[in-house]
Amino acid sequence: MIVLAILLLSGASCLLVVSNIPLKTDVPTTTPLAFLKSSFRGFVLNVNNDYRYMKTGYFVSLHAEILGNDVVPTTENAVDVYRPPILLTRAAKNGTPTAPFILTDSVKQIMAEFAFPVVVFPVNPFMFNVFQVAENRAALYRAVKSLSMNYRYAVCAQPLHGEILHVKSFFGECSIEDDGVRKIAKKVYETFKIPVCKLLLQRFDGEAYLCGLQPLKLEEILPSDVDMISKIVSWFSGKGWFD
């Protein structure tokens, strides 16, 4: 929680939470649509299940920036996190353990770099919450053809050891009892400050490695998750409590 505290100290005196998730907090909160019509000046905490480019969560951060406000997350980070190559490059630069990756549209290049199985992520404007695992050459051809939209876009390929773990992260906090995973969630939040997201990780040789990050669907956010987010937001504002 050190990162949050620093933000609060350096931020503006007035905090507004903009959320499409019904939070249980006393902190001044508004909806994205109401905020987008306002000219609020102060610090904006944008709590949304989806910050993808051109979606409402993104426009909230953009509006806050154009008004000259400090905002979490920034539009720059919101764009970066959903593009696996940028996510992994920046996360690795900040000391997060990441899986090796290659950005290409060539199956041969992927096979030359990595042994099977391989996990393939799309890097195109139309797919955001999918990936495919290829166990052999034929499956890899199918995965690349489909995720590159018939070789029109590049894909991001990584070697796969074991399984992909899906971890919900709220302000860098997650409910999994695994030090490696918790450390990655904290580090990713420290680097990109995405309040609500799903981390994709691999675990091998006793270590966890970051593979990707995706938006959560609203129905994936359970009542217990809403409680957790609300507590953190209350703590964040300095008005509430955190246990």
Partner 1 sequence: MGHEFNFMFRSGLSEIPKYDAVFIRATTDPLYTAYVVSRTAWVLGLRVVDDPESIRICANKIHQYKLFEKYDVPHIPTLFLNKEEFHHRQIEEIFELFGKPVVIKAPYTSFSKYVEKVSCETSFREVAKRFFRRSDYIVVQRFMPSRFDWRVGVLNGEVLYVCKYMMPKGKWKHGVKRRGKPSFVWGRTVTLKRDNAPQRLKETALKACSVIGKGLYGVDIKEINGDYVVVEVNDNPSIYKDQEDLRDKDIYERIIKFLAE
Let me know: does 123 contact 85? Beta carbons within 8 Å.
yes
Shortest Cβ distance from residue 216 to partner 1 (Å)? 17
**Residue window 80-119: x/- pattern of binding to partner 1, with contact defined by CB under 8 A:** x--x-xx--xx--x--------xxxxx--x----------
The alpha carbons of the chain give a radius of gyration, in whole angstroms, of 19
Please name the residue ranges forming H helices in 14-136: 32-36, 56-66, 75-81, 84-93, 107-113
Task: Give 204's strand partners.
Answer: 207
d(CA 191, CA 185): 10
Shortest Cβ distance from residue 10 to partner 1 (Å)? 22
Closer of 63 and 186 to partner 1 (Cβ) = 63
Amino acid letter, 175? S
Contact between 28 and partner 1 per CB under 8 A: no
Helix (H) or strand (E) holding 27: none
Contact between 59 and partner 1 per CB under 8 A: yes
Contact between 213 and partner 1 per CB under 8 A: no
Query: Closest Cα partner for 81 from 216, 207, 229, 182?
Result: 216
**Applying CB under 8 A, which residues contact partner 1?**
33, 36, 53-56, 59, 62-63, 66, 75-76, 79-80, 83, 85-86, 89-90, 93, 102-106, 109, 123-125, 153-154
